[in-house]
Amino acid sequence: MTTQRLHPRVRIVWVVRAIVFAGLFTLPFVAGFYLGYLPEWAPTVAGGVLLVIGVVHALLRYRRWSYEIREDELYLDRGVITQVRTTVPLVRIQHVDSRRGPIERAVGLASCVVYTAGSRGADVRIPGLTPDGANDLRGELKRLAIRADGEDAV
C-alpha cells in the first residue's frame, strides 16, 4: 500500500476542535474582564491569538499526517512541533477499533484506533477516514495482524 493521506475534511474536525479549545481558554480572560482585572481588549486578543495558532496547527497537522500499511508494519508519520514516526509491527496489534466522535459524525468521518501492548505507543489513532474507510482499514489491519501470526504478543 502506498502512503495514504487523511481525508481533507478532517481539517474541519480539527479546526472546529481548535475553535472550541480557543473558546475554552479564552473564558478565563473573559471572566477577568468582567471582574475588572483585565482591559477590554484582552479577551479578544487572547482569543484571536489562540484561534490563529489552533487553526494554523490544524492545517499544518493535516499536511504532515500520513500513514502506510507496509508488508509487516503500520507506519505513521505525524506531528507538527514534534514530528513522530511510529512503526507498529502488525504482529503486535492487540485489537483495532473504529470510532466516531460527535464532530467526526457531523462531517461524516471516522477514525481507527490500533492498540498494542506497548506502554508508550499503546494506542495509535488514525483520524480522518471515511466510515467505510475506517471499517475497511480495521478489517484490513485485523486480517494482516492475524496473517502476521503473532505468537506471544507480549
Give the residues lining the site for other proteins (CB under 8 A). 72-73, 79, 81-89, 91-96, 115-121, 124, 138-139, 142-143, 145-147, 149-154
**Nearest distance in Å: CB 60, other proteins:** 12
What is the rounded distance in angstroms from the CA atom of residue 92 to the CA atom of residue 1? Answer: 19
Burial of 93 (0-12, 13-18, 19+ CB in 10 A): buried
Q: How far is the CB of 80 from other proteins (least distance, A)?
A: 9
Q: Which is nearer to other proteins, 51 or 137 (CB)?
A: 137
Set of cell numbers at residue 108: 461524516
Tell me the three state secondary structure of residue 6. coil
Q: Of the two residues 32 and 121, which places its CB atom closer to other proteins in the complex? A: 121
Assign residue 128 a region: left if phi > 0, alpha if psi is -120 to 50, beta otherwise?
Answer: left
Three-state DSSP at 133 gives helix
Query: Minimal distance in Å, beta carbon 133 to other proteins?
Result: 15
What's at 150, amino acid-wise?
G
Of 33 and 75, nearer to other proteins (C-beta) is 75
Q: Which is nearer to other proteins, 31 or 84 (CB)?
A: 84
